[in-house]
Amino acid sequence: MNWSFGFQNGKPARYWMILLFFSVSACAQALDFGINKVRYHDHWQWHVLETDHFEIYYYDPCEKLAQAAARDGEAAYLKTSRLFNYVPQPQNKVPLFIYGTPQQFQETNITEEYLDEGVGGFTEVFKNRIAIPMDGSYYEFNKVITHELTHAFQYDLIYGEGWRSINLFKSVLVPTWMMEGMAEWNAQHLDGQGEMVLRDAVLNDQVLPLGLLNSFGHFPQVYTAYKESQSILDYITQVYGADKVPEMLKRMANNQSADAVIKNLLGISEDQLYGNWHFYMRTQAWARIKGLPQPEKYGDPLQEGVGKSDVSPDGRSVATLERQHLGLIDSLTKNKTGLKDDSFNKIGRAHV
Ligand SMILES: [Zn+2]
């Protein structure tokens, strides 16, 4: 699936979804054709909380969440407006729709497309509407607001403000690594898991050159692509200065190729940038683990190929997620119980 930005060969490419930019944990398998969206909550009473720069839409149990969104959203707006050195027209407030749980978010009618559980939020390009669920963590909620708001500003720069049904035919190709990397970079969205995944990917040749990141379709785990893109912009910030990142976006929005923008702004080619970043990351990673014993010295491996895992509060079980397969490992006996019910894939719901 092509996740590149805009339209190709003069034809709209997959209209909606191509233009949605999913947050961190989104996955390229988000679009499961044929899965119907079920709405259990068509009785919701929506309210609007207006702030200086947002119209925040929420339903009854989410009033406190709306207030948190107002606080976090305004702070993110100030930060992002400074970053782009750009202030949208006051009448163009950002519509921000918040949902109390990821499951309720999946019922959104802002898009008719089925949203996989991995989608942590989205910004649609026609009206700059942002939709975000609360997944239980205010930290994540805050980061996702900043991430999606960055997309809203990016769209303003690329397509202009206001409703954009015509402007979207402008042929602009900003690589996904720039769009998503910048959103993560601006949100400073990096935690222990992100660092671990990226370090592991760098050491095991699971990262890819920028030329292959126009879309994220080459990655089996799209999360890695987000973290690589963010890390490359972090590297640019450290070596060349933070002001280079918004300038890169602005030039790409004016239809300059990524390679030309990098050459003009940083004085090196796109491939050289990737090579320098890769060398830096490997050096950092090796320096951290130099002299340490192999992981096997600390304990026996439980299972390979696990994408996500979590330990139960009593420490007796480890829940694992390996692609679409759930498992449970008894930490004492190491017995594995696979939750192999394939209906998981069909209904698209499972919780580790
Ligand atoms: Zn995004």
pLDDT in tens, 118-139: 788 889 888 889 999 998 899 9
Residue 306 has pLDDT above 70, yes or no: yes
The string of pLDDT tens digits covering residues 225-234 is 999 999 999 9
In this predicted structure, what is the pLDDT of residue 20? 41
State the pLDDT at residue 171. Answer: 65
Coil vs helix vs strand at 9: coil
Do 62 and 100 meet the contact criterion of CB atoms below 8 Å apart?
Answer: yes
Q: For residue 189, with 0-12 CB atoms within 10 Å meaning exposed, 13-18 middle and 19 or more buried, which class applies?
A: buried
What spacing in Å lies between the alpha carbon of 226 and ligand 1's midpoint? Answer: 9
**Residue pointed to by tokens 């997944």:** 135
Higher pLDDT, 169 or 131: 131
Give the whole-number percent of the chain exceeding pLDDT 70.
80
- Residue 71, H or E segment: helix 63-84
Q: How far is the CA of 214 from the centre of ligand 1 (A)?
A: 14
Across 182-210, average pLDDT? 92
Task: Read off the pLDDT of residues 229-283 as tens digits, 9 standing for 90 and up.
Answer: 999 999 999 999 999 999 999 999 988 999 999 999 999 999 999 999 999 999 9
Dist. CA 122 → ligand 1 center (Å): 7
pLDDT grade for 218, boundaries at 50, 70 and 90: confident
* Vertex 142: Cα angle to 139 and 147 (nearest 5): 125
pLDDT at position 348 over 60: no
CA distance 116 to 61: 23
Instruction: Give dist(CA 287, CA 35) in Å, integer.
Output: 47
Give residue 311 CA to ligand 1 midpoint distance, Å: 29
CB count within 10 Å of CB 138 equals: 11
Q: Give the per-residue pLDDT at 220.
A: 76
Mean pLDDT of 312-326: 83
How many angstroms is it from 179 CA to the middle of ligand 1?
7
Quote the CA–CA distance of 155 and 80 in Å, as a whole number. 13
Per-residue pLDDT, averaged over 320-325, amounts to 76
Structure tokens at 191: 């935690």
C-alpha 123 to ligand 1 mean position (Å): 8
What spacing in Å lies between the alpha carbon of 317 and ligand 1's midpoint? 33
Compute the 3-state secondary structure of the chain and give helix, strand, coil in percent, each to the nearest 5.
45, 15, 45
| 68 compared with 171, residue with greater pLDDT | 68
Closest CA to 58 of 66, 70, 67, 69: 66
Alpha carbon of 150 to ligand 1 centroid (Å): 8
pLDDT-based confidence at 201, cuts 50/70/90?
A: very high
**60-111 pLDDT, tens digit each:** 889 999 999 999 999 999 999 999 999 988 888 999 999 999 888 888 888 8
Is it the case that residue 9 has pLDDT exceeding 70? no
Mean pLDDT of the chain: 82
Q: Output DSSP code: residue 50.
A: E
Segment 50-54 shows an average pLDDT of 97
Q: How many A from CA of 27 to the centre of ligand 1?
A: 11
Residue 4 pLDDT > 50:
no
Q: Tokens representing 321?
A: 């997620």
pLDDT of residue 141: 94
Query: CA gyration radius for the chain?
Result: 21
Instruction: Return the structure tokens found at 53.
Output: 């720069």
pLDDT band at 168 (very low <50, low <70, confident <90, very high): low
Ligand 1 center to 143 CA (angstroms): 11
Residue type, 214: N
